[in-house]
Structure 1
Amino acid sequence: MAFDFDFDLLRELTEASGVPGYEDRVRDRVRTVFDEAVDEVRTDAMGNVIGTVEGSGDYEVAVAAHMDEIGFIVKHVTDDGFLKVDALGGWDPRVLRAQRVRVHTQQGDLTGVIGSVPPHTLSEEDREKEDAVEDVVIDLGRDAEEVDDLVSVGDLVTMEQSTVRMGETVTGKALDDRVCLFAMLESARELEASEATIHFCATVQEEVGLRGAQALGVDVDPDLAVALDVTIASDIDGVSEDKQVTRLGDGAAIKLKDGSVITNPKVTRRLRDVAESEEIPHQLEVLPAGGTDTAGFQNTNGAKPVGAISIPTRYLHTVTETAHREDIRATIDLLTAFLDSEDGSHDYSL
């Protein structure tokens, strides 16, 4: 099934490794796209990348999507050559058993596995024990001396997974938030001459507290900010409709709130108006918990009107995150149409 967007770029972004604070590989790819799509590219001290399209007026809009993915950092190498790690971002430990990982060392990337004791030897007490990230042990398949030579405390660990088409969806690791980063880059490429100056911001360290966006909000001082992030789509068997948040295939999600922000109602209304006038499939999002870069801009450098567009995604914070091709396309279209119509004439004051 043909996808009407650059799937190869999406695959490159999602398969790249980049935990909070170490987004280098993703940042390099973002810069390459920006070089062809924007007027100016710069990187700040934290590693945020800003691609600016100069408008004909003096109104400025910031768009943000984060580059980092959840992962781990090595905190200890045991005498037997196994790795103990500390989490970078919020993991559900239930999904970690027996997963393949990539350990990023000074001498190159190493494949490893997160060990899992066979059920045959577990006691009843062990069977009932809840999984915890601090119990994760990584096996590199090497003897202790070789591991000690290759791996150091501070080396990074990401999940090893490919990104593939699955029916009408895309599935893989790090769709949070690379699928939205991709949508932002595609919008930058598709945007025609704009009256507003648009700052496309690829941010860092979102998964550990929106740190990149908060710092960027001091440096970039827009009149309006719009963030892109994935949101929960628990439209699967066994989840009641009131807890599904969004549904795959129903369009881009216009955020009303999450655990970090209540979006400006006038910005939200404008997003809805644009979606309706352009006949772009969309749905509304009320996310009970979790934060996004939207909050990073809302009250940094003074209060700012903020809005957010989300891509519905199943199985968040796993290695099989799944998004629908039509929701991805709708998000690109909505962001582009919204930015194209921003000329400073819309009043977002409350």
Structure 2
Amino acid sequence: MELLHQLCQIHAPSGNEVKMKEFLLHHVQEQQARWKARPQILHGKGFQDCLLLVFGEPRTVIFAHMDSIGFMVRYGKQLIKIGGPVAEAGYTLVGEDSQGKIECTLEVDEEEHELRYHFEREIERGTELVFKCDFRETEDTVQSCYLDNRLGVWSALQVAQTLENGIIAFGCWEETGGGSVGYLAKYIYETYGVTQALVSDITWVTEGVRAGEGVAISLRDSLIPRRSFVQKIIQLAREANIPHQIEVESSGGSDGKELHYGPIPWDWCFIGAPEDHVHSPDELVHKKDIYAMVDLYKHLMQKL
């Protein structure tokens, strides 16, 4: 879990994913000699802060978003949410501006419906603040801020170790509505002809999706992917005896939205471990679900 711990500490709120991209690029370049196959690494001009790993002759792509939720300094002591973080008074936030490193406290003004920070000086406007990482591991669970979606990224990196044919796409901006998957999907389709996608992200523990009972395969959130594709995934999971749960929700979304609304005939499915205390500093995931997630992705990337 040390790699996951490192990922959870990296400052990469939506719109400023460059540190995460640089970390992943360094990790891949350092580790790829130990992998079953070396990928073609695509980044830079035309990809903004995204990163593509292309293995062999790809048939399926894994999308994993690198960004996190957080807060941005407005004017004075005001804060604006980046995405949908839980905002409770007393949370510790960290960041950095031109005057140095910052560790401050979140304040909630219920009467004015405003978020503020408490710090010894005024923080420069536009500075991003994120939850301070307190990584906790037990025999059964992992708990930290930003398991959504550093765990999805971590899972994709585990898959990369044995992947021979496929694409792993690390994208940006998911927590604020997307923005990169559209052009990544276009490039992947036009260059490799791939139209199958798996969304490596983290979902919620609910009354129907429970911690410790397997990875969630989503039949729907606010959108409904093509049923025959999802049923094929469920059948492969059953045949491989990989612990899984079927998720059916009426709201929520992921990188699948940009695939769904785009002009390319993508088949896509959200597959991820469920977590409790969503979008807080205390996101909690069961290790059984983490390992089931990795096992299912490895199996699907071979079989689809």
TM over 0.5, yes or no? yes
Q: How does 1:191-210 map to 2 (within 5 A)?
A: 191=163, 193-194=164-165, 198-210=166-178
Distance of 2:112 and 2:162 partners within structure 1: 45
Q: Which structure has the highest strand share of the two?
A: 2
Question: Residue in 1 aligned with 2:118?
Answer: 139
Q: CA deviation at 1:52?
A: 1.0
Pick from 200, 212, 220: which aligns with 1:249?
Answer: 212
1:133-155 per-residue CA deviation (whole Å, 9 max, x = no partner) reads xx111112x2xxxx35xx32111
What TM-score, normalized by structure 1, do the two folds share? 0.78
* CA-CA distance at 1:15 after TM superposition: 1.9
> 2-side partners of 1:312 and 1:190: how far apart?
24
2:150 is aligned with 1:178: yes
Which protein has the larger Cα radius of gyration, Structure 1 or Structure 2?
1
Gap change, CA 1:104 and 1:275, over 3 Å in 2: same
Instruction: Find the counterpart in structure 2 of residue 188 from structure 1.
Output: 160
- In the other structure, the counterpart of 1:231 is 203
2:96 corresponds, among 97, 104, 127, to: 104
- 1:25-44 to 2 correspondences below 5 Å: 25-35=19-29, 36-37=31-32, 38-43=38-43, 44=46
Unmatched runs of 5 consecutive residues or more in structure 1: 1-6, 78-82, 118-128, 235-243, 343-350
Contact 1:64 1:293 in 2 (8 A): yes
Counterpart-to-counterpart distance in 1, 2:133 and 2:145? 6
Query: Could you list the runs of 5+ residues in structure 2 that have no partner in the other structure?
Result: 33-37
1:66 aligns with 2:38: no
Q: What does residue 290 of structure 2 align with?
A: 328
1:123 maps to what in 2?
none
Are 1:279 and 2:279 an aligned pair?
A: no
* TM alignment of 1:22-171, pairs within 5 A: 22-35=16-29, 36-37=31-32, 38-43=38-43, 44-55=46-57, 60-77=59-76, 83-93=77-87, 96-115=88-107, 129=110, 132=113, 135-140=114-119, 142=120, 147-148=121-122, 151-171=123-143
Give the match's secondary structure for 2:273.
strand
Aligned residues: 292
CA shift, 1:33, in A, is 3.0
Alpha-carbon displacement from aligned partner over 1:37-87 (angstroms, at most 9, x marks no partner): 4421122443111111122xxx5321101111111111112xxxxx21111
Could you tell me whether the CA contact under 8 Å between 2:195 and 2:265 is conserved in 1?
no
Q: 1:232 to 1:130 in 2, by over 3 A?
A: farther
Tell whether the 8 Å contact from 2:197 to 2:266 is kept in structure 1 after alignment.
yes
Aligned partners of 1:20 and 1:68 also within 8 Å: yes
Once the two structures are TM-superposed, the CA of residue 223 in structure 1 deviates from its matched residue by 2.1
- The aligned runs of 1:264-275 (5 Å cut-off) are 264-275=226-237
- The answer as to whether partners of 2:8 and 2:133 remain within 8 angstroms in 1 is no
Match of 1:15 among 9, 31, 39: 9
Alpha-carbon displacement from aligned partner over 1:24-45 (angstroms, at most 9, x marks no partner): 2221222123323442112244
RMSD: 1.9
Task: Note closer, same or farther for the CA distance 1:154–1:161 as it changes in structure 2 (3 Å cut).
Answer: same
Counterparts of 2:155 and 2:4, CA distance in 1? 9
Q: Distance in 2 between matches of 1:102 and 1:185?
A: 27
SS of equivalent residue, structure 1 residue 136: strand
Structure 1 pair 326–152 and aligned structure 2 pair: CA distance change class (3 A): same
Work out which of the residue numbers 218, 221, 229 in structure 1 matches 2:186: 218
Residue type of the alignment partner of 2:245: Q
Post-superposition Cα deviations, 1:81-119, rounded to whole Å, max 9, x if no partner, equal xx21111101333xx2111110221344211111368xx
After superposition, where does 1:286-325 map in structure 2 within 5 Å?
286-325=248-287
- Taking structure 2 as the reference length, the TM-score comes to 0.90
